[in-house]
């Protein structure tokens, strides 16, 4: 066996997709992983899609519900992760890429992140499905390409596992409207499938 090819295979990294419902601590876990890398002297490129601009009055940040926060880069659908990585690596160095709100990435973005695992590990955090319980574009491509899929579990108000990001408008649970509607606890509640169905029936 060619020893050079064997060595190249050994240094390949992985694409990870850590998914869960809203409120399942995805962003908190992303920031804790960032801390662990940096605590060991490594450089982390923290990114989120530019679409998620909640509260970014003083620059783009990744925020968690428990109060953890960190500055981050943003990427638009027209931009390339390959270019962003090269620029960041040249200026700061890069040992790991962490992407929050990865469901808002395009399929092309996920393809680019897969390519970047030639150089560094890539950890993505995000929702699996939208408020109609269908896969987001970015999440779908991650399911197809990720080397590791991990569910970050959360609990419904009934005690069962939450699997649905139920959307509420004027206090009523809805299953129609734009796929992307940026919001927090005022707009979304994580529920199990059956509680979600019960809420929908109340309004029909």
Kindly list the structural domains of the chain, giving each domain's residue range(s) and its CATH number in brackets, ordered by start.
Answer: 3-152 (3.40.50.300)
Max mean pLDDT range (54-58, 65-69, 154-158) = 154-158
Listing DSSP states for 84-130 in one string gives HHHHHHHHH--SEEEESSGGGS-HHHHHHHHHHTTTS-EEEEE-SB-
pTM: 0.89
Q: Region 119-123: what's the mean pLDDT? A: 97
Q: How confident is the model at residue 14 (pLDDT cuts 50, 70, 90)?
A: very high
pLDDT, mean of residues 155-179: 91
* Nearest one of 137, 134, 203 to 172, comparing CA atoms: 203
Distance separating alpha carbons of residues 43 and 184, to the nearest angstrom? 30
- pLDDT tens digits, residue range 130-160? 999 999 999 999 999 999 999 999 999 999 9
Percent of the chain at pLDDT exceeding 70: 90
- What amino acid positions are annotated as catalytic residues? 101
Could you identify the residue written with the tokens 């991650």?
142
Containing H/E element for 168?
A: strand 164-169
Whether residue 1 is predicted with pLDDT greater than 50 in this model: the reply is: no
Give the pLDDT confidence score for residue 179 in this predicted structure. 76
pLDDT tens digits, 72-107: 999 999 999 999 999 999 999 999 999 999 999 999
For 179-189, what is each residue's pLDDT tens digit? 777 655 568 89
């Amino acid at each position: 066996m060619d020893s050079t090819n064997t060595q190249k295979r050994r240094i390949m990294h992985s694409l990870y997709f850590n998914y869960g419902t809203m409120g399942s601590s995805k962003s908190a876990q992303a920031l804790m992983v960032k801390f662990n890398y940096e605590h060991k002297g490594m450089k982390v490129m923290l990114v989120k899609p530019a679409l998620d601009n909640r509260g970014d009055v003083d620059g783009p940040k990744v925020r968690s519900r428990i109060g953890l926060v960190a500055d981050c880069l943003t990427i638009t659908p027209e931009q390339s992760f390959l270019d962003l990585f090269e620029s960041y690596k040249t200026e700061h160095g890069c040992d790991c890429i962490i992407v929050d709100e990865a469901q808002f990435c395009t399929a092309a973005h996920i393809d680019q992140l897969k390519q970047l695992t030639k150089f560094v590990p890539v950890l993505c955090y995000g929702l699996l499905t939208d408020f109609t319980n269908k896969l987001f574009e970015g999440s779908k491509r991650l399911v197809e390409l990720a080397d590791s899929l991990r569910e970050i579990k959360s609990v419904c108000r009934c005690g069962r596992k939450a699997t649905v990001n139920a959307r509420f408008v004027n206090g009523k649970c809805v299953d129609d409207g734009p796929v992307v509607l940026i919001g927090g606890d005022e707009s979304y509640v994580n529920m199990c499938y059956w509680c979600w169905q019960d809420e929908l029936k109340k309004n029909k």
